[in-house]
Amino acid sequence: MPGTQPENKKCRRQNSRRMAEKEKQQRENDRDMEIQREQNRKTELPENFRENMKRLLKEAYPEYLESLSQTPVQGIRVNTGKISTEHFLEICPFPVMPVPWTRNGFYVSMHTTETSDGRFLDAMHTTETSNGRFLVTKDAQVTRHPYYYAGLYYVQEPSAMLPAALLEAEPGERILDLCAAPGGKATELGSRLAGEGVLVANDISASRAKALLKNLEQHGVGNVLVCSEAPQKLQKIYPAYFDRILVDAPCSGEGMLRREPSMKKAYEAHGPAYYAPLQREIVEAAAAMLRPGGRMVYSTCTFSEQENEETVLALLADHPELRLVKTEVPGGEDIPEMLAGCVRLYPHRVKGEGHFAAVLEKLSGNTPDNADREEAFNSMRAIHERKGAGNTAVFSKEKTSGGTPGLKAPAQWQEFSGRYLKKEFAGWRFLSIKERLYALPPQADVDRRLRYLRTGLFLGECRQHGFEPSQALAMYLKQREVKNSISFAAEDTRTVRYLKGETVSLTAEEAAEADSGWILVCTDGFPLGWAKHSGGTLKNKYYAGWRMN
Using DSSP's 3-state secondary structure scheme, residue 286 falls into helix
Catalytic annotation, pick one of 301, 342, 462, 522: 301
Q: Which run of H or E residues covers position 109?
A: none
DSSP string, 364-415: STTS--HHHHHHHHHHHHHHHHHH-SSSSEEE-SS---SSSPPTTS-HHHHH
Residue (208 or 381) nearer to ligand SAM, CB: 208
Instruction: Give pairs for 118-125: CB < 8 Å, separation 24+.
Output: 119/351, 120/351, 121/29, 121/33, 121/70, 121/71, 122/71, 122/73, 122/74, 122/351, 123/25, 123/28, 123/29, 123/32, 123/33, 123/71, 124/32, 124/71, 124/72, 124/74, 125/28, 125/32
Signed CA dihedral, 337, 340, 344, 350: sign only: positive
- Which is nearest to 484 in space by CA: 495, 499, 494, 469? 469
| Cβ at position 176, least distance to ligand SAM in Å | 11
- CA 100 – CA 158 distance, rounded (Å): 9
| Cβ at position 134, least distance to ligand SAM in Å | 21
- Residue 58 annotated as binding? no
Residue (16 or 262) nearer to ligand SAM, CB: 262
- Which is nearest to 151 in space by CA: 217, 200, 98? 217
Residue (246 or 457) nearer to ligand SAM, CB: 246
End-to-end alpha carbon distance in the chain: 58
- Residue 140 annotated as binding? no
- Residue 427 annotated as binding? no
Residue (213 or 473) nearer to ligand SAM, CB: 213
| Cβ at position 167, least distance to ligand SAM in Å | 11
- Residue 185 annotated as binding? yes
Residue (235 or 455) nearer to ligand SAM, CB: 235
The answer to whether the beta carbons of residues 99 and 158 sit under 8 Å apart is yes
| Cβ at position 277, least distance to ligand SAM in Å | 11
- Residue 183 annotated as binding? yes
- CA 501 – CA 504 distance, rounded (Å): 9
- Residue 181 annotated as binding? yes
Residue (263 or 444) nearer to ligand SAM, CB: 263
Helices (H) and strands (E) in the chain — how many of each?
A: 19, 28
- Residue 6 annotated as binding? no
Phi, psi (rounded to 5 degrees) for 118 = 85, -5
Nearest residue to ligand SAM, by Cβ distance, number only: 184
Residue (142 or 473) nearer to ligand SAM, CB: 142
- Residue 197 annotated as binding? no
- Which is nearest to 347 in space by CA: 41, 9, 63? 63
- Which is nearest to 170 in space by CA: 294, 256, 285? 294
Residue (76 or 121) nearer to ligand SAM, CB: 76
Residue (45 or 181) nearer to ligand SAM, CB: 181
According to DSSP H, which parts of 136-238 are helical? Answer: 137-142, 146-149, 162-167, 186-193, 206-219, 231-237
Instruction: Based on the residue annotation, tell me whether 301 is a catalytic residue of this protein.
Output: yes
Residues that bind ligand SAM (CB under 6 A): 178-185, 203-205, 208, 230-231, 248, 250, 282
| Cβ at position 341, least distance to ligand SAM in Å | 22
CB atoms within 10 A of CB 106: 24
- Residue 3 annotated as binding? no
* Three-point CA angle 398, 401, 403, nearest 5°: 140
Using DSSP's 3-state secondary structure scheme, residue 357 falls into strand
Helix, strand, coil percentages, rounded to 5, for the chain: 40, 25, 35
Q: At what angle do helices 272-289 and 308-318 cross, to 10 degrees?
A: 40
| Cβ at position 163, least distance to ligand SAM in Å | 8
| Cβ at position 71, least distance to ligand SAM in Å | 22
Using DSSP's 3-state secondary structure scheme, residue 22 falls into helix
The answer to whether the beta carbons of residues 143 and 133 sit under 8 Å apart is no
| Cβ at position 298, least distance to ligand SAM in Å | 12
Interior/surface letters 156-184, b for 16+ CB within 10 angstroms, e for the rest: bbbbbbbbbbbbebeeebbbbbbbbbbbb
| Cβ at position 142, least distance to ligand SAM in Å | 17
Residues within the annotated binding site? Answer: 179-185, 203, 248
Residues within the annotated binding site for S-adenosyl-L-methionine? Answer: 179-185, 203, 248
Q: What residues are annotated to the active site?
A: 301
